[in-house]
Amino acid sequence: MDKTGKVKKLGVALALGAGVVYWTWRQSQRAEKQAPEISTAEAQKLLEQAAPLLRLPSSPDHEPEVLPDGAGLRCPVTGQILPYREGILWLLEGDERERTITQQALDTSLSAWAYDAARGWIVRALGALDFDQDAALTQERLRVEAGDVVLDLACGHGNFTVEWAKRAGDDGLILGLDYSPAMLEQAVYHIRRWGLRNVLLIHGDAHALPFADGALPKINCSGGFHQFPDLPQALREIARVSAPGAVLTTSTFAEGKNDPRAGIKRWFKRTVDLHFVPLVKLGEQLTALGYKDYTWSLLGGWFGYAAAIKT
Ligand SMILES: C[S@@+](CC[C@H](N)C(=O)[O-])C[C@H]1O[C@@H](n2cnc3c(N)ncnc32)[C@H](O)[C@@H]1O
């Protein structure tokens, strides 16, 4: 076959592949619309349960007021309304902050769906743990039990959020916070699909967490640290909102001790803002913020797992 024939064949294959991806995505969007919503009474209950833990930037010393019918929150100082709509508490509406390339990459409904569909393949290709193994390893440190309150930071499409919500049960409360509306919408789908009533999804920013000082006993952040533009600031916020004895678990693209791939990893940080978090330094940062019992491991050379306890 001549060169033009090969190019034509490749074009047809790519067009077919794109068609299959688009069709699958459209089907999943349809399924999303069919998942049952939670009632206004359930939304109200969720917000009332979460309100004592929540703090808005405009009123850091006051608990926000819960609006009737689970419609959202009101700032007790400015009167600003923060709506709860389509399964999400929207705290960043009108936020004009510039987002990094990696943040933008996961903020369309197509890319959020593709991430959800392909995450298993990606972690396997990187030699990291698959979801069940990752959740089991994290659970060894996080120990989520019935009635627990857990923050799933950078919850994305809600894979870990669903896992913790099932373990925490009806008396528990799982707060899933993410910066990407598209990823949160994907999480709404999974939470409804599993019929979970104990999850409050929040559109928020890890660099300015909307929680009271010392409010949270368990925080998990899977796949988030490598995306945060200012990880030290996010760590300060995590430490601020953590209760004494609180557990922090994380998995992230990471750099190990004397890492042979440090050069390429730092190149990723410079070019696409994908941070390979140096795990030894992370331990030092957490210790300086009052954490103890830091443990870490790097699997497959790319992906790291770490945990620590707030004193
Ligand atoms: C790779 S995904 C991880 C999703 C999921 N936790 C997992 O383990 O598959 C990274 C997530 O971090 C979120 N993210 C990035 N910057 C953030 C920020 N400043 N605050 C909160 N979430 C952020 C992105 O929107 C994205 O959903």
pLDDT in tens, 28-39: 665 555 556 889
Distance CA 104, CA 107 (A): 5
Query: Which listed CATH number (3.20.20.220, 1.10.1060.10, 3.40.50.920, 3.40.50.150) goes with 86-310?
Result: 3.40.50.150
Q: Which residue has the tokens 């993410």?
A: 178
List CB contacts of 238: < 8 A, sequence separation 6 or more.
153, 206, 209, 219, 221, 248
Q: Can you tell me the mean pLDDT for 92-105? A: 88
List CB contacts of 211: < 8 A, sequence separation 6 or more.
53, 54, 55, 151, 175, 241
Model confidence at 2, in pLDDT bands (50, 70, 90)?
Answer: confident
Residue 201 has a pLDDT of: 98
Evaluate if residue 19 carries a pLDDT over 90: no
16 versus 105: the higher-pLDDT residue is 105
Ligand 1 pocket: which of 89, 150, 178, 191 to mutate (most atoms <8 Å of CB)? 178
Tell how far the Cα of 178 is from the centroid of ligand 1, in angstroms.
6
pLDDT in tens, 172-225: 999 999 999 999 999 999 999 999 999 999 999 999 999 999 999 999 999 999
Least confident range from 11-20, 35-44, 59-68, 298-307: namely: 11-20
Residue 27, exposed/middle/buried by CB under 10 A (0-12, 13-18, 19+)? exposed
Evaluate if residue 159 carries a pLDDT over 60: yes
Whose CA is closest to atom 25 on ligand 1?
A: 180
Query: Mean pLDDT for the chain?
Result: 92
pLDDT in tens, 272-302: 889 999 999 999 999 999 999 999 999 888 9
Model confidence at 64, in pLDDT bands (50, 70, 90)?
Answer: very high
Model confidence at 101, in pLDDT bands (50, 70, 90)?
Answer: very high
Residue 299 has a pLDDT of: 87
Tell how far the Cα of 2 is from the centroid of ligand 1, in angstroms.
46
Tell how far the Cα of 169 is from the centroid of ligand 1, in angstroms.
24
Q: First vs last Cα of the chain: how many Å apart?
A: 69
List the chain domain ranges: 37-85, 86-310
Residue 95 has a pLDDT of: 82
Evaluate if residue 10 carries a pLDDT over 80: no
Q: Which residue has the tokens 């699909």?
A: 193
For residue 82 and ligand 1, the question of a CB distance below 6 A is answered with: no
Length of the chain as a residue count = 311
Distance CA 57, CA 54 (A): 10
Tell how far the Cα of 93 is from the centroid of ligand 1, in angstroms.
18
For residue 182 and ligand 1, the question of a CB distance below 6 A is answered with: no
Q: What is the DSSP letter of 276?
A: -
Of ligand 1's listed atoms, the one at least distance from the Cα of 99 is 16
Helix H or strand E segment including 295: strand 291-299
Distance CA 154, CA 267 (A): 23
Residue 8 has a pLDDT of: 77
Residue 56: count of CB within 10 angstroms of its CB: 19
Structure tokens at 260: 């042979």
Residue 36 has a pLDDT of: 62
For residue 186 and ligand 1, the question of a CB distance below 6 A is answered with: no
